[in-house]
């Protein structure tokens, strides 16, 4: 395919999962304790999407990768210092909340508007990538809503592999139950792919790529538009870390059906 793709990756930042996250009730609603002080990373689900996009662009001449991110501008800048060294892309930044207490529809609307504003956007070459899930916005609906707002009906979720045919067709492996994959075929772009883990390793840091990316990133961060993503009208009765409960009993030679029955009864109780 000579013209290549315009690959748009939707990705946000999340607190480092190795940190202790403690929810608190703040003046603007639920939040994480000392959230702005917590080290942040690129959402792991979206990171796979970015790596897959970079791989596809590298092997498809004429392609370009855009990274659209809605996050606090100061935290996003810190994370981009590392992410910029992984792969070449153009950053489109939106200044807004990135925690788990946001509304998927509001986030999707902001992302869709930013994508529509990309200069010379060619929908016939558009591939929209993102995480199948999210480490903070685990609603599993954000990417689907973005696709609907952009009029993309060909949507694939739980993607582990993408192969582009000589005629521009897309062969996609989607996760299904039982550890199996469903083979889906799409004749051409536009299409939306919600990535699971993919099958590519994390790229090595490349300082030269990082320097090229950061030249444009700093300007993009300065121009980041405020984005509202709060759940207007939604109230939370309370926020707390799930309580741990452990009841252990050692039994030998117990049939699996009996074990399952006891587990079900314990859950119901």
% of the chain surpassing 90 pLDDT:
17
Domain-by-domain residue ranges, the chain? 6-226
Mean pLDDT of the chain: 82
Lowest mean pLDDT among 86-95, 100-109, 121-130, 152-161: 100-109
Q: pLDDT (tens digit, 9 = 90+) per residue, 185-227?
A: 998 889 999 888 877 778 888 888 888 888 788 888 788 787 7
Q: In three state form, how does the secondary structure of 100-118 look?
A: CCCCHHHHHHHHHHHHHCC
Q: Would you place residue 138 in the very low, low, confident or very high pLDDT band (cuts 50, 70, 90)? A: low
H or E segment to which residue 147 belongs: helix 142-149
Of the options 3.30.479.10, 3.30.1360.70, 3.40.50.620, 3.30.70.1880, the CATH number for the domain spanning 6-226: 3.40.50.620
How far apart (Å, rounded) are the C-alpha atoms in residues 18 and 51? 22
pLDDT for residue 151: 92
Distances (CA, A) of 197 to 16, 169, 192, 245, 264: 18, 22, 16, 30, 30
Pick the more confident residue, 134 or 85: 85
Q: What is the mean pLDDT of residues 46-52?
A: 89
The model's pLDDT over 29-38, given as tens digits with 9 standing for 90+, comes to: 666 777 777 7
Looking at per-residue pLDDT, the higher value among 39 and 109 belongs to: 109
Residue 78's pLDDT band, with cuts at 50, 70 and 90, is confident
Cβ neighbors of 206 (< 8 A, separation 6 or more) are 85, 86
164 versus 247: which is more confidently predicted? 164
Q: Could you read off the pLDDT of 215-265 as tens digits, one per residue?
A: 788 888 788 787 776 655 666 666 666 676 677 778 888 888 988 998 898
Q: What is the mean pLDDT of residues 106-111?
A: 87
Closest CA to 107 of 61, 74, 140: 140
Give CA 193 to chain center in angstroms.
Answer: 11
**Residue 51 has what DSSP assignment?**
H
* Pairing verdict, β 13-15 and 64-71: unpaired
Task: Give me the pLDDT at residue 1, please.
Answer: 43
Mean pLDDT of 142-158: 90
Q: CB–CB of 159/172 below 8 Å? A: yes
Q: Is the pLDDT of residue 97 over 80?
A: no
Q: Which residues contact 172 (CB under 8 A, 6 or more apart)?
A: 156, 159, 161, 162, 163, 183, 184, 185, 186, 193
Residue 236: Cβ within 10 Å count: 11
């Amino acid at each position: 395919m000579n013209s290549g793709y315009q690959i748009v990756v939707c990705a946000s930042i999340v607190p480092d999962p190795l940190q202790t996250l403690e929810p608190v009730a703040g003046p603007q609603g639920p939040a994480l304790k000392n959230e702005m002080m917590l080290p942040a990373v690129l959402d792991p689900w979206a990171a796979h999407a970015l790596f897959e996009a970079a791989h596809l662009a590298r092997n498809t001449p004429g392609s370009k990768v855009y990274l659209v991110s809605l996050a606090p501008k100061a935290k996003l800048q810190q994370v981009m210092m590392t992410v910029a060294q992984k792969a070449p892309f153009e950053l489109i930044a939106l200044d807004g909340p990135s925690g788990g207490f946001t509304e998927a529809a509001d986030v999707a609307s902001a992302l869709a508007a930013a994508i529509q504003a990309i200069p010379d956007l060619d929908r016939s070459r558009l591939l929209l990538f993102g995480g199948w899930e999210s480490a903070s916005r685990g609603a599993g609906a954000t990417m689907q809503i973005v696709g609907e707002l952009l009029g993309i009906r060909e949507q694939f979720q739980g993607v582990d592999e993408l192969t582009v045919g000589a005629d521009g067709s897309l062969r996609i492996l989607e996760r299904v139950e039982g550890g199996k994959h469903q083979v889906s075929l799409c004749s051409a772009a536009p299409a939306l792919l919600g990535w699971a883990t993919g099958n590519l390793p994390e790229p090595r840091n490349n300082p030269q790529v990082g320097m090229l990316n950061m030249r444009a990133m700093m300007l993009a961060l300065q121009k980041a538009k405020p984005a509202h993503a709060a759940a207007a009208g939604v109230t939370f009765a309370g926020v707390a870390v799930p309580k741990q409960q452990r009841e252990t009993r050692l039994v030998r030679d117990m049939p699996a059906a009996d074990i399952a029955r006891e587990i079900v009864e314990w859950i119901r109780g």
